[in-house]
Amino acid sequence: MPLIQQDLATIDPIVLDELTARGLFAEVLRLDKVHPVISGNKWFKLQFYLQEAIQTNKKHILTYGGPWSNHLVATAAACNELGLQCTGIVRGEWPKQLTPPLKQAASWGMKIEFISRSDYSMQKRKHSSTQSDLLIIPEGGYGNLGVKGASTLFSLLPGKSYTHVLCAVGTGTMLAGLSATAPENCQCIGIPVLNGAKALEEAIQLQTNFDTVNWKLETGFEWGGYAKHPTQLIQFMNSFFKKTKIPTDIVYTGKLFYAFTQLVERNYFEKNSRILLIHSGGLQGNQSLTANQLEFS
Ligand SMILES: *Cc1c(COP(=O)(O)O)cnc(C)c1O
């Protein structure tokens, strides 16, 4: 299933004066480069679900997401390439106009259905896999197969050694996968981009369940909640791009890299730390901004 080009995921150094001054070394794994639409971590979380669909001869994928879901877009594009039908169930009422991500998902052939928020969690359980040609993927690729997929990320880093790996956290599936295969003495640090870290922590615990806890969440970088992006965040993204040439997105990686620079400033990392940041993609989400807000695209 070579939908994406893993070898396009470069590992780039992050060169910033504040790092050098503190004796820190940082790199970024550019998952944003592997595919223009099936961005970043979404492919890694989807791969084993898709494999299962093909192996068990399922013709139809059904999955869930919000109106700004990168997961729905990625699933739609992947199904399109693999010749699978797909349906995306979206929380909320039919809007006058579809959001750009949903438009994109629909353009890849995804059938979009809206259900009210109150029905959403109920409905999630109702769609059972009794329909024999249907494979259901949980929202965000959450679940064992998603974690298994994300745990393959370390295979992109042969011969590398880090003391810390940082990633943005939505459902926490990527963080759980990283934590499953992180080498000894490597801390996995998740930066939640939505409010409600307590629930997230519990969800991630369910997905990890190992003796040694090698992960934690650092909160306080939500910027008001999911997909909220005040002007100061946009300003940070612009100035970070100017300094590093790394483009970030408003929902996930902008908040991740901001958190990183803040943690550095607080002397969170000991001297000689070797830090890897996962650029998990999501850049197409910037299309929801009005023109000229970002100095890159
Ligand atoms: C979905 C997504 C995440 C969050 O991944 P989870 O496994 O849900 O925590 C992070 N970054 C980007 C760009 C995403 O699209």
pLDDT tens column, 21-43: 999 999 999 999 988 777 788 98
Do 133 and 55 reside in the same domain of the chain?
A: yes
pTM score > 0.85 for this model? yes
Do 56 and 192 reside in the same domain of the chain?
A: no
Atom of ligand 1 nearest to the CA of 150: 7
Whether 251 maps to a domain, the answer reads: yes
Do 261 and 243 reside in the same domain of the chain?
A: yes
Do 64 and 120 reside in the same domain of the chain?
A: yes
**Residue of 34, 46, 70 with the most ligand 1 atoms within 8 Å of its CB, for mutation:** 70
- Identify the domain containing residue 196 by its residue range: 6-40+144-288
Whether 284 maps to a domain, the answer reads: yes
**Total number of domains in the chain:** 2
Q: Among residues 106, 141, 176, which one ends one of the domains? A: 141
**pLDDT tens-digit profile, the chain (297 residues):** 556 777 789 999 999 999 999 999 999 999 999 887 777 889 899 999 999 999 999 999 999 999 888 899 999 999 999 999 999 999 888 899 998 889 999 999 999 999 987 777 666 555 554 567 899 999 989 999 999 999 999 999 999 999 999 999 999 999 999 999 999 999 999 999 999 989 999 989 988 866 778 999 999 999 999 999 999 999 999 999 999 999 999 999 999 999 999 999 999 999 999 999 999 999 988 988 888 899 997
Cα(85) to ligand 1 centroid in Å equals 23
Q: What is the CATH number of the domain that holds 73?
A: 3.40.50.1100
Do 136 and 126 reside in the same domain of the chain?
A: yes
Contact 162, 276 (CB under 8 A): yes
Do 163 and 241 reside in the same domain of the chain?
A: yes
Q: Does the CB atom of residue 173 touch ligand 1 within 6 A?
A: yes
Do 74 and 178 reside in the same domain of the chain?
A: no
pLDDT tens column, 166-175: 999 999 999 9
CB-count burial class (<10 Å; 0-12, 13-18, 19+) for 259: buried
Whether 296 maps to a domain, the answer reads: no
In terms of Cα–Cα distance, which of 25, 4, 2, 3 is closest to 14?
25
Cα(120) to ligand 1 centroid in Å equals 21
